Amino acid sequence: MVKTHDYVLVVIRNLQETFDDGYLKTLRQHGYRIELVPAGQDPIPTMEARPPIAACFQYDYPDLQGLADLREAKKRVSSVPLLMITQAHSEHLAVWAFRSRVWDYFVQPIDMPRLLEVFASLRSVRLPGSASVASNMDPDSRKALDVQNAIPPEARLRCSGPGGEQAQLDRAMSFLDKNLHRKIAQAEVAESCGLSTFQFSRLFKRLTGVTFQEYLLHRRIAEAMRLLANPKVSITDVCFTVGFRDLSYFTRVFQRYVGQPPSRYRLSLVDKQQEPQPHQHKIEFDPLAATAAQLSLAPLKS
């Protein structure tokens, strides 16, 4: 049995050359030894020969190959806990990560106290127990780790019965997210919620404060803004991915809501990355928590 070694393996899978390594400095300050696996290099031989406390897969904007590398590492070296750190926030990406059995998932800027707690628990369990697989740990050790990986309490605040209005709205939001790439008729969303079009229209407006079509357009633009942060994705691909079928129309709508065309918005993101600002404004758009107070019809600002 190969024993666990006292170090953290960081697998760089960024699309851009630079990445935020602030969390690595903090880990080093707390006594963790860090080894890096650069882009293009296979981390599995190192993980097999010298299993680390954990392997962190570092992404800026995950691509298919980078995510495939994580899945393959989990398949081949299942005893090593995997953490995923990314600059691109996406509910679907988080779901994919946990279905791939990553131990924890962090979005930049990282919650350092929680990251340090996770590593402290992993180190205390992994080193004394050598290379035992997490799922085969003794109950007390497993319980210690689960405390750090528990579902946040706030995630339970919005629970509702299967037939409640909030549950119906959640189903509508999930339907939109899954089908954002294509034309969406209000009638089919209403049907997915078990409502008539009229009932759905009234429910949606009452719970969100905006009409369905107004919300859908905001949702498409918000998703476009997120995708444009990835320099590897063309503006045309962004246009079609968020459900527009005409690039010129997409450009006009985007400019109306954001205040500048997609190309200029992307350049503004590059400028912000090159010139660090102490107080960067980050647009938060959570469709599952949309309320009249959170969702305004005022144009989105970059």
61 with 87: CB under 8 angstroms? yes
Q: Does a structural domain hold residue 219?
A: yes
Q: Which residues contact 26 (CB under 8 A, 6 or more apart)?
A: 112, 115, 116
Query: In this structure, is the dihedral angle defined by the CA atoms of residues 80, 86, 90 and 93, taken in order, positive or negative?
Result: negative
Clarify whether residues 68 and 110 are in a common domain: yes
Angle value at C-alpha 234, between 218 and 67, nearest 5 degrees: 90
Q: Does a structural domain hold residue 1?
A: no
Clarify whether residues 109 and 243 are in a common domain: no
- Residue at a domain's end among 102, 131, 152: 152
In the predicted structure, residue 262 carries a pLDDT above the cut 90: yes
Q: Does a structural domain hold residue 300?
A: no
Q: Does a structural domain hold residue 159?
A: no
In this structure, which amino acid lies at residue 83?
L
In the predicted structure, residue 278 carries a pLDDT above the cut 70: no
Clarify whether residues 219 and 143 are in a common domain: no
Clarify whether residues 70 and 142 are in a common domain: yes
Q: How far is CA 110 from CA 15, 96, 262, in A?
A: 19, 19, 28
* Tens of pLDDT, residues 142-195: 444 444 444 444 333 344 444 578 888 888 988 998 898 899 999 999 999 989
Note the pTM of the prediction, 2 decimals: 0.51
- pLDDT tier for residue 21 given thresholds of 50, 70 and 90: confident
Count how many Cα atoms sit within 13 Å of the Cα of residue 179 in the half-sphere of its side chain.
15
Clarify whether residues 217 and 148 are in a common domain: no
Q: Does a structural domain hold residue 158?
A: no
Clarify whether residues 39 and 112 are in a common domain: yes
Q: Where are any strands of DSSP class E within the chain?
A: 8-12, 34-37, 54-59, 82-86, 104-107
pLDDT of residue 276: 53
* Tens of pLDDT, residues 71-117: 999 999 998 999 999 887 677 778 788 888 899 899 888 888 989 98
CATH number of residue 43's parent domain: 3.40.50.2300
CB atoms closer than 10 angstroms to residue 162: 7
In the predicted structure, residue 1 carries a pLDDT above the cut 50: yes
Clarify whether residues 20 and 130 are in a common domain: yes
From 70, 63, 69, 64, select the one nearest 87 (Cα to Cα): 63
pLDDT of residue 17: 67
Residue 179's domain spans which residues?
165-289
Q: Does a structural domain hold residue 299?
A: no
- Residue at a domain's end among 152, 177, 197: 152
CATH number of residue 275's parent domain: 1.10.10.60
- Residue at a domain's end among 152, 179, 199: 152
- pLDDT tier for residue 63 given thresholds of 50, 70 and 90: confident
Q: Does a structural domain hold residue 3?
A: no
Total domains present in the chain: 2
Q: Does a structural domain hold residue 112?
A: yes
What pairing do the DSSP bridges indicate for beta strands 54-59 and 104-107? unpaired
Q: Give 116-124 contacts, CB < 8 A, sequence gap 24+.
A: 116/26, 116/27, 116/30, 117/148, 118/83, 118/148, 118/149, 119/8, 119/27, 119/30, 119/32, 119/53, 119/54, 121/145, 121/147, 121/148, 122/53, 122/54, 122/81, 123/6, 123/32, 123/53
